Structure 1
Amino acid sequence: MADFVLVSALVSVLFVAILQVGLTLHVRNTLISCASEGARLGARAGSSPQEGAARTRDLISASLSSRFAGDVSADVTVDDGVLVVAVRVRAPLPVLGPLGPDDGFDLVGHAFLEAQ
């Protein structure tokens, strides 16, 4: 009886830890996808990086939560002589469910600027 209690407690903690790692990876991958999509919109001819940042905020708010869309910025950078739109997302790291420190993720999505 005591063995069952000890082993089930350990298995339960392990299960919750695996779920939390899965949630963290899901949030990270979703943020990268939203940043890349916003960069592609901001890099289109006739568009601006600010439109890409706004689209990124909208996508993050729709797919995760507006808490993760608080710090989104976009600008044009030069990478090996090519103009690139970079959308940067700084979001909290979910440590305990969706809660966690505010400075967890710093992710960037890139896209080549069409008007070159």
Structure 2
Amino acid sequence: MARFRERGEHGSAVVDFVLVMVLLVPLVLGVMQLALVLHVRNTVALAASEGARHAAAWESTPEDGLARTRDQWDGAVAQRFVKATRIEVSEFAGAPAYRVEIDVAVPALGLGGPAVSFTVSGNAVIEPDPTGAVP
């Protein structure tokens, strides 16, 4: 007499695992990409602000501000993410100010492929000469 095996749910765990992973992996990778972009944006924005403040200090030059900007993001962000850094004189509330702008492109998960591109900036009002001399 042949015995029939019951065909319960044997092997369904593999199917469940695949179905869950199809949804979970893109979600986790998306969160990782968002975290990387926000980390790079915040770090570079802080560097731009610090560079502008340094350039705006009395007896400091715009080149000093750009150097300070690069020093700030150098250890925390990969060099290949930052595409361009520039400083310009602008006006803020009627006072002369320095504006540091940094163009950034963060590839997918930092590896390659399509990139998220954005520009961050930092501003600082130029400190006047304490002796009262006009440049």
- What TM-score do you get using the length of structure 2 for normalisation? 0.76
Shift of 1:3: 2.5
Shift of 1:73: 0.7
Q: Distance in 1 between matches of 2:89 and 2:115?
A: 26
Runs of 4+ with deviation above 4 angstroms: 100-103
Q: Deviations over 1:36-85 (max 9, x none)?
A: 01011001000012211121122222221222344111121112211111
SS at match of 2:33: helix
- Give the corresponding residue for 1:97: 109
- What TM-score do you get using the length of structure 1 for normalisation? 0.87
Q: Distance in 1 between matches of 2:70 and 2:55?
A: 13
- Cα RMSD after superposing both structures: 1.9
Shift of 1:16: 1.1
Bigger helix fraction: 1
May I ask how many residue pairs the two structures share in their alignment? 115
Select the residue among 82, 86, 89 that pairs with 1:73: 86
